A and B are shown apart, each in its own frame.
Chain A
């Protein structure tokens, strides 16, 4: 079929360009993600957000580690670095400290950020380094064949938990809030509009921000857990998700099965001096800086 013309039963106009194309690296597209994967929706929301905020694209940097989610740093047309597995946060910390003018965002997967990279997350949040961390939580290691990870829900089947996982998974918003993130929110990829707004907010906010995006991975998680294809998983989010900004931390546990709700919202929005502000304060107090 030709890409242009009155095709499509003459009912919808066909074109060759998209208004967000300039935010993406056209030479890298189409992306590698499976049909029904939520990563493309998450990337669209991010592309929209970085274009809408009042921060020039030249000052924005996007970093990621390894995994399907990690590919995002290669697709978005801003300065970026695709670090080794789990190391996007220390790279981001160094970048922000060396050049505080930059708006630094890490976009990566649950395995990358919370298994191999977990320690870096703890310390960047504790120090309140002024960076944004966006985690796509698809409850498994998508890229390497659907293994169990630190967010795999109890009883969920993965290629390494054939009888169902029995480990207690991380409750990511609770973790982020407990160690000092100044902004914490969670959305599913069906909550595009909320997600896009949260991203705008995080980009503009000073301090360590965290957004968890619950996303379908039909290949690694949806099929073994009878959540089906991407579309069916989004229907599940529509049915089970509840927006509750004042939810208790217990309510934010995710089960991804049965009648348990998927609670989403903006949970933390507070202020705390950042790493660089505290350093400056100390240097001034000791007369080491004028």
Chain B
């Protein structure tokens, strides 16, 4: 992340890390999680699920960027994606 002013506690505060899980056959490919992830972690994969929808996947180079903010979980209309605290 870029800061216009470096926060005083930058070294003390650790940004949380998240681990992402999807439940492939629930996804309806609406793209909400992809579009609104504040860190741009997700993108549409070429792979389709049993219903014929494109699932989200982690974008190249974004493997360590999820901050476990839960937004994808809350906005997903299908209960198809969530995150847990990672290392």
Instruction: Tell me which residues across on chain A come within 8 A of B21, comparing CB atoms.
Output: 12-15
Q: Is A37 in the interface zone, CB < 8 Å from B?
A: yes
Tell me whether A14 and B22 are in contact (CB under 8 A): yes
Tell me whether A113 is interfacial, beta carbon within 8 Å.
no
Are A16 and B75 touching (Cβ within 8 A)?
A: no
- In the complex formed, the residue of B with least CB distance to A195 is B74
A130 CB–B CB distance under 8 Å = no
* Range class of the A interface residue count: 35 or more
Q: A193 on the interface (CB 8 Å rule)?
A: yes
Per the bound structure, the CA–CA distance linking A186 and B14 in Å amounts to: 34
The bracket for how many chain B residues form the interface is 35 or more
Contact of B75 among A12, A24, A35, A190 (CB under 8 A): A190
8 Å CB contacts to A: which residues of B28-62? 28-32, 35-36, 45-50, 53, 55-58
Chain B residues near A41: list those with CB within 8 A: 32, 74-77
| Given known A-B contacts A37-B77, A231-B31, A18 and B23 have beta carbons under 8 A apart | yes
A40 at the interface (CB under 8 A from B): yes
Segment touching B, from A1-9, A56-64, A90-98, A114-122: A1-9
Q: Is the interface of B mostly helix, strand, loop or mixed?
A: mixed
Pick the contact of A190 from B26, B36, B47, B76 — CB < 8 Å? B36
**Interchain nearest-CB distance for B64 vs A (Å):** 13
Tell whether, in the assembled complex, residue A48 and residue B20 are in contact, meaning their CB atoms are under 8 Å apart: no
CA distance A193 to B70 in the complex (A): 9
What would 30 A/B residue contacts be, using CB atoms closer than 8 Å?
A: A1-B24, A1-B48, A3-B24, A3-B50, A8-B24, A9-B46, A9-B57, A11-B45, A11-B57, A11-B63, A12-B21, A12-B22, A12-B58, A15-B22, A18-B23, A18-B79, A20-B79, A35-B29, A35-B30, A36-B30, A39-B77, A40-B77, A41-B74, A41-B77, A44-B75, A192-B71, A193-B71, A229-B30, A231-B30, A231-B32
| 5 additional A-B residue pairs with CB within 8 Å, beyond A39-B77, A44-B79 | A3-B25, A8-B45, A18-B79, A21-B79, A30-B78
- Which A residues fall within an 8 A CB radius of B? 1, 3, 7-9, 11-21, 24, 29-31, 33, 35-41, 43-45, 48, 189-190, 192-193, 196, 229-231, 234-235, 238
